[in-house]
Amino acid sequence: MNSLNIKPISKNRTLRANVAEQLRDAIINGDIPPRTKLIETQLSELLGVSRGPLREAIRQLADQGLIENIPYTGTYVIDIKVKNIQELYSFRTEIERFAFSLVWNKRSSKFYSDLTNQHKRLTQAIKAKDSVATIYEELELHSVVYDHCGHDLLRETWQRLRSRLHLYFTLHQKAHNRSGPKLKAHDAYVTLAAGENLDAMLEHVSEHMNQGYSKVEKYVSMIEQQLK
Amino acid sequence: MNSLNIKPISKNRTLRANVAEQLRDAIINGDIPPRTKLIETQLSELLGVSRGPLREAIRQLADQGLIENIPYTGTYVIDIKVKNIQELYSFRTEIERFAFSLVWNKRSSKFYSDLTNQHKRLTQAIKAKDSVATIYEELELHSVVYDHCGHDLLRETWQRLRSRLHLYFTLHQKAHNRSGPKLKAHDAYVTLAAGENLDAMLEHVSEHMNQGYSKVEKYVSMIEQQLK
DNA sequence: TGCGATTTGTCCGTATGTATT
DNA sequence: TAATACATACGGACAAATCGC
């Protein structure tokens, strides 16, 4: 009843936006695997749109870093590389620490409630063993601090990373789909974020990221070797 | 002879890339002032291209944050707002400190030479009172650390900020075109970057940014009041 | 080296949707 | 309410570039 449905009722009014959203979702959910070549004529027929809006959507996803476009050659879903993961995690650490520094002295009651509510959703998804929802809710949990820090540029930067991060999470999940994230992995995160010790929070962010990184690093380096 | 020409011989092979570059340059050089509405039919005729590539270029510049698109309504050059400037500078501080931390222990001889050469170019531009070149060379100087830190994601993020920063610099310059940057404003920056005290460098970056921010803040808040 | 097939890039004419007046 | 201006979308056509043979 009072639980808001997660569905983002974003009625994208333009076709290009809808196409971009559909393609993005298909990629980050693993339905279109890395290295796949996106052929315009095929896609436009599949999606039921003309090449115009499709090409504009492709341009947007390329700017977001989910696909790579080589002129006169083709557009490909990005590849997995250890270096990219490492960069994603190290950069994430920096900006999330920055976000907490910004939000710390102006944390509102809504911040606390958003945090706990989102933690609840994540816990439920984990308990339900819904791996797709778990990934989404974990990213949503981390989005809370960006949404409340009042720094549009920072939030925008986070959103750009989020898609790629989502893709890596999905691929990792699919590789060994039984080991989801630990049930209590985010307890300390939420507790500290609602506490009064900023330094402890910042330190925890760094640790949390390192743990996440080492979790996927081995898998990715293995994949990279296989493809080599 | 040995001095490489600055001209980026980037023969953009696709029309959309050329159009995007032309539009971007026109905006950051102030030839197309903020709030200007970009009308597709006019632009496509002016540039001598069809609406297809033009629209794709517009989508790219919108993703870069230089223009804003409102569906079925129009595309406008971004507005100037104090909050945006403040965000730009605070975020820049964070990522440039991060970049120096990354590069510190692997600074190569090329890093030092790039740094001093670029400082020389900046100095020459200032002496020549070439305000357009001065802005470009100052941004190039700051680009050195990103180019050498070996973090593609960080460099990519910097490039995204750079266009907006360039625009603000240009507008500030045009507002009172006699006060260019001080001749020795970057001496300490270069000296510290080539030195051995990382903490001093990081501290200087923060100070350097604060100075830059306060320089444009008053001007922008004035403009913002005028337009209100 | 060249040739042909495939795909991307580009142009144009037209029709429709939307906001504004 | 109607009319206008413009963005959006479609479909067909052709040019240009890449790749495999």
Name the token pair of B107. Answer: 């600074």
What pLDDT is attached to residue A216? Answer: 73
pTM of the model: 0.91
Per CB distance under 8 Å, which residues of A are interface residues toward B? 13-14, 16-17, 52, 55-56, 59-60, 63-65, 71-72, 83-84, 87-88, 90-91, 94-95, 98, 151-154, 156-157, 161
CA–CA dist A32, A165 (Å, integer): 16
Strand partners, B75: B38, B69
- Strand B37-38 versus strand A74-77 pairing type: unpaired
Stretches in chain B below the pLDDT threshold 70: 1-12, 177-181, 225-228
In order of start, what are the domains of chain A with their CATH numbers?
Answer: 15-77 (1.10.10.10), 82-226 (1.20.120.530)
- Strand B74-77 versus strand B67-70 pairing type: antiparallel
What pLDDT is attached to residue A214? Answer: 79
Closest CA to A65 of A29, A34, A96, A22: A34
What pLDDT is attached to residue B10? Answer: 57
Query: Cα dihedral sign for B153, A91, A156, B83?
Result: negative
**pLDDT tens-digit map of B29-47:** 999 999 999 999 999 999 9
Between CA A50 and C1' D10 the distance (Å) reads 6
- Phi, psi for A113 (deg, rounded to 5): -70, -40
What pLDDT is attached to residue B185? Answer: 86
**Going residue by residue through chain A (228 aa), what tens digit of pLDDT does each one get?**
333 333 444 566 899 999 999 999 999 999 999 999 999 999 999 999 999 999 999 999 999 999 999 999 999 999 988 899 999 999 999 999 999 999 999 999 999 999 999 999 999 999 999 999 999 999 999 999 999 999 999 999 999 999 999 999 999 888 876 666 678 889 999 999 999 999 999 999 999 898 878 777 777 677 666 665
**pLDDT tens-digit map of A30-47:** 999 999 999 999 999 999
Cβ of A13 near strand C (under 7 Å)? The reply is yes
